[in-house]
Amino acid sequence: MKASGLPLEGRTAVVTGASRGIGAATARALAAAGARVALVSRHADDPAAVLPGAPGANLAIAADLAEAEECERVVEEAVSAFGRVDILVNNAATAARLPVTATPTAVIDRILAVNVRAPLVLVGAVVPHMADRGGGCIINVTSVSGLVGTPRRAAYAASKGALDAATRSLAIELGPLGIRVNAVAPGVVDTAMWSSNKQVPGVVEAVNALTPLGRWAQPEDIADVIVFLASDGARFVTGETISVDGGMARTMDLYSGDV
């Protein structure tokens, strides 16, 4: 802990997909813990819109992470602005809920580019800066879909399973550099990604019934675990995928029926 009581005081973080949902909640939680935050999204929104009242010089970076060179530019801009990057949160993702027979190749390619290639390129770009400072923390946001079979999400599930596997490999590779790598795997989170499904009669009740804690996750539920993993409280934790899903993945068949 720092003298101020803020566990991440003096540290800097890059959060992708930071304009809404889990990303925005994570940016707010990191800032509340004392970190300066670079908010990465496809539109460079005013940081104050996501972080109202947050102290410090936060930064917004516009980037389409489906383009590999954009990932490298994100890290360059963050290092230029902050002088360092201590925490990388790979949250940006895209998804499609389609039968495999009706999933266009272009959709598969974009899912893999954003959900798998972009995190790996970002990690490759940020590691030299972290290593120069003696360490850092990388947190990948994956999904229950990478752990439990979910229908009509094969490409998305493949991308999240790949990121879980990469988390374990990176933990081995980067541990000697003092860099910890972990993942969090949310279940059903009350964000825009689920807004249309939520309007289908019975879906809310069905998800509640499949979740031992009996409710949908809020973005803050995920963000608080990310802050823990970024903090010294998790200083000896690496290579883990932590399910933050109310017990869903470990207790029952997810999405039985048409949820």
- Provide the annotated active-site residues: 156
Q: Which residue has the tokens 């990057």?
A: 85
Separation in Å, CA 249 to CA 38, 147, 242, 245, 255: 32, 7, 11, 7, 10
DSSP β-bridge partners for residue 38: 14, 59
Distance CA 99, CA 151 (A): 8
Phi, psi angle pair for 15, to nearest 5°:
-120, 120
Rounded-to-integer distance, Cα 251 and Cα 16, Å: 30
